[in-house]
């Protein structure tokens, strides 16, 4: 297998590492990038910065699937990573790496710190600069062309033509580079893409215009060439901007991985080592405020831990000897000693990262409407232009000049400006409408995917509920108990203590004077008050063993004086504003609503009952949520996931489309396609409504583009459309498509909130009665 020039990046990166390590030869360098999975399998991760759509993914994975010995070839669009596994006895590492280069993609060893972001930023800046140059040149050449169109003759016309050439040709060379590079790359690997006819049209129009200028011709088309580039670059940049709003959450999950851990050796000495040096069976020390680096079992110590990564619940859980702990969770209050049970990719956090990558790969394989259109567009355009050229040669008896002009007119008139603007123009307008209604669209393609949603999956805590703990009642609390609770809760960082302190403060309570305040990790705080011991915390620790039968004791704080409970402060998480009405409207539209939560059964059942949701599951892990969604999608369902926690990130990525509130974790917001900033849940209704309208407008734009081609192409083929007419027609089609996208502003009326809808229904009933 011969290595093409595009593979030089991989080779140079390997050789650089060889030189730095002092090894000799490329084989030893290549071995340093290859991982030995077992005796029969090897793997490598490559960064492929030039992939940008589902078509790229399909081409790469299909290319590898044809090779014997390849056991895995998976592309992650967000991180631009190609993960490969193979059997070394059937195919060599060098042959495996050459495949992606021979397919026309640049590649290099994957660096987690880059993940393709720098390359994407470079592409965006290049497109913006090219757009600016093309816009400046188009405006000036058009001004010069006005004089020619108005009838300028002789030396005046030639002067304006030469000035147009001096402005347009450098601009075409600079602004057309994104299309020229892509076209050359495609042709060098014997395939076609949309950039090939674009490049041909621009180059031929510019070359023929220069030929006409040298030969004192009456018509030149510099304005057509540069205007064509301007419209195409506008669509390309808008499309790039929408794609780059969707960032991978995998890199943020990777940041939860600890770099080291404190190991307790046999003589009791504490030694800090790299996480890569940890093995199952070691004993490690995890101080308060540290993230747990590995999966383990508590050997000694008691502490409150934040397991929201696992369960999605904000309330800390008390851990003590014998209980298990997962990598990535936060140790809050006390020191723990853990026996390591799993490390690296075998930990819970490692499994979550794998789930995220797999889910993102599945979403990236979604073939957008524009990508599907592009698959058949390029071949058709080339065939039409070639047939036009050959037909005119035969008809005119070999007049290459007229034949070339007719072929150029076909290429220009069929240039995909309207197709290129059809999707991004609508997405930009729809994103602006949703932004004004409190919804940020991160992935424009999600508007397409969301238009056919038939199942909505909600997380409970922080999504259907507000995520803020509220005391159920303060009326029965006497002033003395309130003062003691105020004083004790002021020094605790536990979420329940914070909520209690906030509630009592808003009530106007003043703290009592206490002494010798101490905190017992996992249980609560205690102090001396007037010669008595007062405690605030867990019921059983405060001496209220008889009260433990009360439901949901994890959401109850007890106050005791000399080990006698004097007050109980129950907390609950209230429903998010509009949750009941939103769910009701979804159900009325025939959409299946499901609640998936990591919380306990009583809490989940209570919320489901309040919302009249029949389908709900409790105690769900991130893997369980992803499995549920994958099963639904496999059954032909279109699933919208709405969640907020770190544990929801894999399921947000796995769903057909996803939304998260602005109060969600950073990882949750990153994994979601849309983020809503409004405090209520009406954003779900708005997003589904706008998604439906925007998809309709995209289809309308494609219909307009097709209608334009059906009328204009025959005119160009038969010679009734000059390249100048073709450029004007092409520009007009782009303006029409953009104008149709702008119609969203006045055609899409703000959907009534569920509360307004239910109010109208109630009013109608009253009118019927009257």
Rounded Cα gap, residues 363 and 716, in angstroms: 40
Two tokens, residue 110: 């994957």
Binned at pLDDT 50, 70 and 90, residue 365 comes out as: very low
Which pLDDT does position 263 carry in this prediction? 86
Active site residues: 459
3 state SS for 450-473: HCCCCEEEECHHHHHEEEEEEECC
Which pLDDT does position 371 carry in this prediction? 55
Two tokens, residue 670: 């990153």
Query: 493-522 pLDDT, tens per residue?
Result: 677 788 888 888 888 888 888 888 888 776
Which pLDDT does position 8 carry in this prediction? 43
Query: 570-627 pLDDT, tens per residue?
Result: 877 778 888 899 999 999 989 999 999 887 788 888 889 989 999 999 888 888 898 9
Which pLDDT does position 374 carry in this prediction? 58
Average pLDDT, integer, range 255-274: 77
Which pLDDT does position 641 carry in this prediction? 93
Two tokens, residue 468: 């803020």
Two tokens, residue 685: 């209704």
Which pLDDT does position 278 carry in this prediction? 83
Binned at pLDDT 50, 70 and 90, residue 108 comes out as: confident
Cβ-defined contacts of 586-593 (< 8 Å, 24+):
586/456, 586/684, 586/685, 587/612, 590/454, 591/453, 591/454, 591/455, 591/456, 592/454, 592/455, 592/456, 592/637, 593/455, 593/456, 593/458
Binned at pLDDT 50, 70 and 90, residue 130 comes out as: very high
Pairing of β 283-286 and β 260-264: antiparallel
Exposure pattern of 86-124 as b/e (b: 16+ CB <10 Å)?
Answer: beeeebbbbbbbbbbbbbbbbbbbbeeeebbbebbeebe
Whether 2 shows a pLDDT value over 50: the answer reads no
Task: Say if pTM beats, i.e. exceeds, 0.75.
Answer: no
Of the spans 191-195, 353-357, 516-520, which averages the highest pLDDT?
Answer: 516-520
Binned at pLDDT 50, 70 and 90, residue 32 comes out as: low
Whether 766 shows a pLDDT value over 50: the answer reads no
Q: Which helix (H) or strand (E) holds 297?
A: strand 295-300
Exposure pattern of 241-268 as b/e (b: 16+ CB <10 Å)?
Answer: bbbbebbbbbbbbbebbbeebbbbeeee
Which pLDDT does position 174 carry in this prediction? 95
Rounded Cα gap, residues 759 and 762, in angstroms: 5
Which pLDDT does position 593 carry in this prediction? 94
Which pLDDT does position 246 carry in this prediction? 45
Residue 530 region, left (φ>0) first, then alpha (ψ -120 to 50), else beta?
A: left
Per DSSP, what are the bridge partners of residue 45? 83
Instruction: Give which of 631, 699, 56 is closest to 366, Cα–Cα.
Output: 56
β-sheet with 270-274: strand ranges across: 270-274, 260-264, 283-286, 336-342, 295-300, 324-325
Rounded Cα gap, residues 88 and 92, in angstroms: 5
- Say how many C-beta atoms besides its own lie within 10 A of residue 747's C-beta: 11
Helix, strand or coil for residue 209? helix
DSSP conformation class of 598: S
Which pLDDT does position 27 carry in this prediction? 44
Rounded Cα gap, residues 180 and 126, in angstroms: 14
Question: Cα torsion at 648, 653, 655, 661 (round to 10°)?
Answer: 50
List of residues 6+ apart from 768 with CB closer than 8 A: none
Binned at pLDDT 50, 70 and 90, residue 383 comes out as: confident
Q: Cβ(678)–Cβ(438) under 8 Å?
A: yes
The phi and psi torsions of 335 (rounded to 5 degrees) equal: -75, 145
DSSP conformation class of 291: B
3 state SS for 108-145: EECCCCCCCHHHHHHHHHHHHHHHHHHHHHHHHHHHHH
Which pLDDT does position 629 carry in this prediction? 92
Whether 165 shows a pLDDT value over 60: the answer reads yes
Helix, strand or coil for residue 76? strand
Strand ranges (E), 399-520:
439-441, 455-458, 465-471, 515-520
Lowest mean pLDDT among 99-108, 718-727, 738-747: 718-727
Which pLDDT does position 676 carry in this prediction? 86
Which pLDDT does position 670 carry in this prediction? 75
Binned at pLDDT 50, 70 and 90, residue 50 comes out as: confident
Which pLDDT does position 403 carry in this prediction? 85
| Between 426 and 180, residue with greater pLDDT | 180
Which pLDDT does position 368 carry in this prediction? 54
Q: Which helix (H) or strand (E) holds 85?
A: strand 81-86
Taking all residues of the chain, what is their mean pLDDT, rounded to a whole number?
77
Binned at pLDDT 50, 70 and 90, residue 12 comes out as: very low
Whether 300 shows a pLDDT value over 70: the answer reads yes
pLDDT over 90, % of the chain: 9
Whether 691 shows a pLDDT value over 80: the answer reads yes
Average pLDDT, integer, range 123-129: 87
Rounded Cα gap, residues 465 and 516, in angstroms: 38
Instruction: Give which of 94, 101, 54, 89 is closest to 75, Cα–Cα.
Output: 54
Two tokens, residue 360: 């993102």
List of residues 6+ apart from 631 with CB closer than 8 A: none
Which pLDDT does position 98 carry in this prediction? 83
| Between 226 and 50, residue with greater pLDDT | 226
Exposure pattern of 439-476 as b/e (b: 16+ CB <10 Å)?
Answer: bbbbbbbbbbbbbebebbbbbbbbbbbbbebebeeeee
Residue 161 vs residues 121, 317, 656, 722: alpha-carbon distances, Å: 37, 77, 53, 17
Whether 752 shows a pLDDT value over 60: the answer reads no
Of the spans 349-353, 669-673, 726-730, which averages the highest pLDDT?
Answer: 669-673
Whether 709 shows a pLDDT value over 90: the answer reads no
Instruction: Give which of 604, 647, 605, 599 is closest to 626, Cα–Cα.
Output: 647
Average pLDDT, integer, range 114-126: 63
């Amino acid at each position: 297998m011969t290595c093409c020039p595009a593979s030089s990046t991989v080779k140079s990166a390997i050789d650089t590492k060889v030189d730095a390590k002092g090894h000799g030869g490329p084989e030893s360098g290549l071995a340093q990038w290859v991982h030995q999975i077992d005796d029969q399998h090897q793997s490598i991760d490559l960064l492929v910065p030039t992939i940008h759509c589902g078509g790229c993914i399909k081409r790469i994975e299909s290319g590898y699937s044809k090779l014997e010995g390849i056991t895995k070839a998976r592309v992650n669009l967000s991180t631009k990573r190609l993960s490969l596994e193979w059997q070394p006895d059937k195919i060599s590492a060098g042959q495996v790496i050459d495949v992606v280069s021979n397919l026309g993609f640049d590649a290099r060893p994957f660096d987690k710190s880059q993940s393709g972001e720098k390359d994407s930023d470079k592409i965006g800046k290049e497109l913006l600069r090219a757009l600016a140059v093309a816009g400046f040149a188009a405006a000036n050449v058009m001004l010069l062309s006005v004089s020619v169109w108005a009838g300028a003759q002789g030396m005046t016309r030639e002067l304006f033509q030469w000035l147009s050439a001096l402005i347009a040709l450098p601009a075409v060379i600079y602004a057309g580079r994104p299309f020229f590079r892509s076209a050359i790359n495609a042709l060098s690997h014997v395939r076609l893409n949309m950039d090939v006819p674009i490049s041909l049209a621009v180059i031929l129009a510019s070359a023929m215009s220069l030929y006409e200028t040298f030969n004192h011709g009456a018509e030149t088309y510099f304005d057509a060439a540069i205007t064509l580039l301007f419209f195409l670059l506008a669509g390309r940049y808008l499309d790039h901007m929408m794609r780059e709003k969707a960032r991978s959450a995998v890199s943020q999950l990777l940041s939860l991985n600890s770099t080291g851990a404190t190991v307790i050796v046999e003589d009791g000495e504490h030694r800090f080592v790299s996480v890569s040096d940890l093995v199952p069976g070691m004993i490690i020390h995890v101080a308060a405020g540290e993230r747990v680096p590995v999966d383990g079992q508590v050997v000694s110590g008691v502490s409150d831990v934040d397991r929201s990564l696992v369960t999605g619940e904000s309330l800390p859980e008390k851990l003590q000897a014998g209980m298990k702990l997962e990598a990535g969770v936060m140790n809050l209050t006390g020191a723990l000693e853990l026996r390591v049970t799993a490390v690296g990719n075998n930990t819970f956090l490692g499994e979550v990262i794998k789930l995220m990558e797999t889910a993102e790969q599945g979403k990236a394989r979604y073939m957008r409407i524009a990508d599907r259109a592009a698959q058949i567009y390029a071949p058709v355009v080339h065939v039409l232009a070639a047939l036009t050229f050959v037909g005119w040669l035969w008809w005119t008896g070999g007049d290459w000049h007229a034949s070339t002009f007719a072929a150029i007119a076909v290429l220009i008139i069929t240039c995909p400006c309207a197709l290129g603007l059809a999707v991004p123009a609508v997405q930009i307008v729809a994103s602006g409408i949703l932004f004004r209604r409190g919804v940020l669209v991160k992935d424009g393609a999600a508007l397409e995917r969301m238009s056919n949603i038939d199942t909505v999956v909600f997380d409970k805590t922080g999504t259907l509920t507000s995520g803020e703990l509220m005391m159920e009642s303060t009326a029965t609390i006497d002033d003395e108990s309130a003062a003691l609770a105020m004083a004790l809760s002021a020094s605790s960082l536990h979420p329940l203590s914070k909520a209690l302190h906030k509630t009592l403060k808003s009530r106007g309570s003043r703290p009592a004077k206490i002494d010798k305040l101490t905190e017992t990790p996992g249980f609560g705080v205690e102090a001396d008050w007037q010669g008595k011991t007062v405690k605030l915390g867990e019921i059983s620790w405060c001496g209220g063993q008889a009260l433990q039968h009360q439901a949901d004791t994890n959401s109850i704080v007890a106050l005791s004086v000399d080990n006698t409970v004097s007050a109980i402060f129950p907390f609950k998480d209230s429903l998010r504003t509009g949750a009941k009405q939103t769910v009701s409207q979804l159900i009325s539209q025939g959409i299946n609503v499901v609640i998936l939560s990591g919380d306990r059964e009583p809490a989940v059942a209570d919320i489901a009952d309040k919302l009249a949701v029949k389908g709900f599951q409790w105690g769900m892990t991130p893997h369980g949520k992803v499995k549920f969604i994958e099963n639904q999608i496999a059954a032909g369902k279109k699933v919208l996931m709405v969640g907020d926690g770190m544990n929801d990130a894999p399921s947000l990525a796995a769903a057909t489309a996803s939304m998260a509130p602005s109060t969600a974790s950073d990882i949750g917001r990153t994994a979601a396609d849309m983020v809503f900033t409004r405090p209520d849940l009406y954003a779900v209704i708005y997003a589904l409504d706008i998604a439906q309208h925007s998809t309709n407008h995209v289809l309308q734009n494609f219909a307009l583009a097709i209608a334009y081609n059906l009328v204009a192409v025959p005119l160009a083929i038969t010679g009734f459309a000059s390249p100048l007419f073709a450029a004007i027609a092409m520009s007009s089609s782009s303006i029409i498509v953009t104008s149709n996208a702008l119609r969203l502003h006045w055609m899409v009326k703000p959907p009534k909130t569920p509360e307004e809808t239910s109010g109208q229904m109630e009013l109608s009933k009253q009118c019927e009665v009257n």
